[in-house]
Structure 1
Amino acid sequence: MAKAEFHKHQRVYVKPVGTWAVIEKVKPHWVRDVEEPVKVLYDCGLGRDFTTDELSAEAVEDSQVGHWRLMRARNKWQTAEECAHHPQPGSYPVVVTDAQNWGGWRVPGAEYDRDPGRIEHQARLIVHAPSLFALAERLVRSAQDDPDASSQTITLAKTAAELIRAVNARPDTSQPDDLSVD
């Protein structure tokens, strides 16, 4: 017997595809003279139906975000002597978010040359974002589980919960980001 663990219009992480999707249809499979469906499949609009094991409602599993790392790419446009003021002359940071060393974050060479220290800091922050996100989730869970949590811990947990909601928000429902350039 199976019960539906997700509902229509719920946002879920589809593990085989590696993306977030919204459940369009819940498809229970019934058998005559049985009170509950034998199995439940979910149509997420991605070309096939998915089982409960292939979906996740809360967050991306650690295995999915654990491959983020900082790599160095060779600067093609400047020699090491021309960029001696860079933290690591002749290279720039590349944040890779996939196990096959592609996908992620890169910065234009001119922007890196303008303020290499700031870009290096951004790269380290992006690399550690999954760990910081997991820490925020643990803080929220800890505050929820501890009835004697201090007011300071509860305030921090509320702030963490707001950040988690902002990260998990669908682009079409969230507030527009500040796109101004400083």
Structure 2
Amino acid sequence: MARAQFQKGQKVWVECVGAWAHIEKVCPVWAAGFEEPVRVTYDVGLGRDFLAHELLLPTDDPAVSDMGDWRLLRARNKWQPLEDCAHHPQPGSYPVVVTDTADWGGWRVPGAEYDRDPARIEMQARVIAIAPRLMTLAAQMIDFVSDHPDDAPAELLELAKRARATLREATDVLAPAPESLPRPADAA
């Protein structure tokens, strides 16, 4: 028998989509002869119903949740001859940002884009790799300032507000799709 693990209106992380959403509807599946549902799915407004194992609860602050250990790897550039990439910071390779769960996938750029400005791409890779730690640091600063608002200098209060707005950009739930699209006559 299945029991609902989430409730309507609850904020969840949809793992396979990689986005925050709200439970719009709990959908139990009943079968004759059973007193409880045999399966429970959840409608989060993303086009299909999800099972409980596809959804995760946020911690008190999603920015503080463990995002894993992101790290920078170097992948061999097998499509470009070494003499064509001698001007790269590390000739013959390019950066790949991966999580601690796998050494494949992750963030990477096309070779032509890397070749155009390798120093910029190397910088972007390092920023992406440290982003979870920066988010945790910002959330800790916000918590400290909110625990001691009277003792914090005005500059620190302003920094905490900016940090909260920046974290919100990364952790906010996707807006639900509109019920209907406006007609061109209505848009004018």
Is this contact kept in 1: 2:72–2:125, CA < 8 A?
yes
Task: Tell whether the 8 Å contact from 1:14 to 1:55 is kept in structure 2 after alignment.
Answer: no
Deviations 1:42-62 (A, max 9, x none): 935553347xxx522531632
* Counterpart for residue 183 of structure 2: none
Matches within 5 A, 1:1-182: 8-13=8-13, 20-25=20-25, 43=42, 45=44, 46-49=49-52, 55-57=57-59, 58-59=61-62, 61-62=65-66, 65-97=67-99, 99-146=101-148, 147-172=150-175
Name which structure has the greater RCO, CA cutoff 8 Å, separation 6+.
2
Would the aligned equivalents of 1:15 and 1:55 in 2 still touch at CA under 8 Å? no
Structure 1-normalised TM-score? 0.70
Which residue number in structure 2 is paired with residue 34 of structure 1?
A: none
Residues 1:76 and 1:16: Cα distance change in structure 2 (over 3 Å):
closer
> Displacement of 1:26 after TM fit?
6.2
How many residues were matched structurally?
153
SS of residue paired to 2:109: coil
Structure-2 change in CA distance of 1:87 and 1:160 (3 Å): same
- TM normalised by structure 2 equals 0.68
Are the equivalent residues in 2 in contact too, given 1:73–1:94 (CA < 8 A)? Answer: yes
Q: Is the 1:13–1:56 contact (alpha carbons within 8 Å) kept by the matching residues of 2?
A: yes
- Would the aligned equivalents of 2:42 and 2:52 in 1 still touch at CA under 8 Å? yes
AA of the residue aligned to 1:170? V
Q: How far did residue 79 of structure 1 move?
A: 2.1
Gaps of 5+ in 2: 1-5, 28-39, 177-188
8 Å Cα contact 2:97-2:129 kept in structure 1: yes
Distance 1:9 1:95 in 2: 34
Query: Structure 1 residues 163, 114: CA separation in 2 closer, same or farther (over 3 Å shift)?
Result: same
In the alignment, structure 1 segments of 5+ residues that lack a partner are 1-5, 28-40, 174-182
